[in-house]
């Protein structure tokens, strides 16, 4: 493994960092009470990666087993306990636990602990995942019920293949 080809060619560095205080408001709040903070989006990192802080309430929530064709996904537990599925087994996590899922890897996560829990989700390259989460929030807030065909279309548009 070697360093990638350079992408910055000036002789001097530039001031270009992005700072986000911990108390910034979430970009998305689900009807279930889940808060999603877009720490970095694919657009803000020029497609390098995306990273969200995902704050789950005490009520059970999380997606069923699925995989992605275009990106890897990583999960880092910040607080509480989130059940992570690595494609073969569910694991009850603690703060500091980490799961990496390469493209094609089956995975899922759920908060079934009865207490709030928070994790970082990192995906690379930086796909436009905000659209997926925002569409799910809109469906949940409206109470609209999707047909199996509509769910399949939504998932495929957002590189989400349910198992």
Read off the pLDDT of each residue in 128-157 and give the average, rounded to a whole number.
95
> Encoding tokens for residue 51?
């990273």
Indicate the pLDDT class of residue 157, thresholds 50, 70 and 90.
very high
Instruction: Provide the β-strand partners of residue 73.
Output: 101, 123
Mean pLDDT, to the nearest integer, of 116-138?
A: 96
Please give the sequence-ordered ranges of beta strands (E in DSSP) within 4-132, or none if there are none: 28-29, 35-40, 50-56, 66-67, 72-79, 83-85, 90-92, 98-101, 108-110, 117-124
Q: Based on the structure, what is the number of domains in the chain?
A: 1
156: helix, coil or strand?
Answer: helix
For residue 34, the model assigns a pLDDT of 95
State residue 153's pLDDT score.
Answer: 97
* Mean pLDDT for the stretch of residues 133-145: 94
Q: What is the CATH number of the domain that holds 61?
A: 2.60.120.10
Q: What does the pLDDT look like over 21-62, one tens digit per residue?
A: 999 999 999 999 999 999 999 999 999 999 999 999 999 989
Find the mean pLDDT for residues 127-152: 94
In a domain, residue 17? The reply is no
Residues in Cβ contact with 106 at an 8 Å cutoff, skipping those fewer than 6 apart: 65, 66, 67, 85, 86, 87, 163
User: Which domain range does residue 85 map to?
Assistant: 28-162
Q: Which are the contacts of 22, defined by CB distance < 8 A and separation ≥ 6?
A: none
pLDDT band at 98 (very low <50, low <70, confident <90, very high): very high
Within a domain: 2: no
Residue 152: pLDDT band (50, 70, 90) is: very high
Is residue 3 a part of any domain in this protein?
no
In a domain, 119, yes or no: yes
> For residue 9, is it within any domain?
no
Look at residue 6 and tell me if it is in a domain.
no
Q: Is residue 8 one of the residues assigned to a domain?
A: no
Domain-located, residue 15: no
> Please, which pLDDT band fits residue 94 given cuts at 50, 70 and 90?
very high
The predicted pLDDT at position 83 comes to 97
């Amino acid at each position: 493994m070697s360093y990638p080809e350079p992408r910055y060619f000036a002789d001097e560095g530039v001031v270009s960092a992005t700072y986000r205080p911990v108390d910034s408001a979430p970009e998305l709040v689900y009807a279930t009470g889940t808060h999603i903070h877009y720490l970095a989006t694919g657009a803000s990192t020029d497609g390098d990666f995306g990273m969200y802080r995902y704050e789950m309430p005490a009520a059970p929530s999380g997606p069923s087993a699925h995989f992605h064709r275009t990106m890897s996904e990583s999960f880092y537990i910040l607080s509480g306990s989130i059940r992570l599925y690595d494609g073969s087994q569910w694991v009850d996590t603690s703060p500091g636990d980490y799961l990496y899922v390469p493209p094609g890897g089956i995975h899922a996560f759920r908060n079934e602990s009865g207490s709030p829990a928070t994790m970082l989700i990192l995906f690379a390259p930086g796909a436009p995942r905000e659209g997926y989460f925002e569409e799910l929030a809109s469906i949940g807030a409206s109470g609209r019920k999707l047909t199996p065909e509509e769910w399949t279309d939504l998932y495929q548009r957002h590189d989400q293949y349910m198992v």
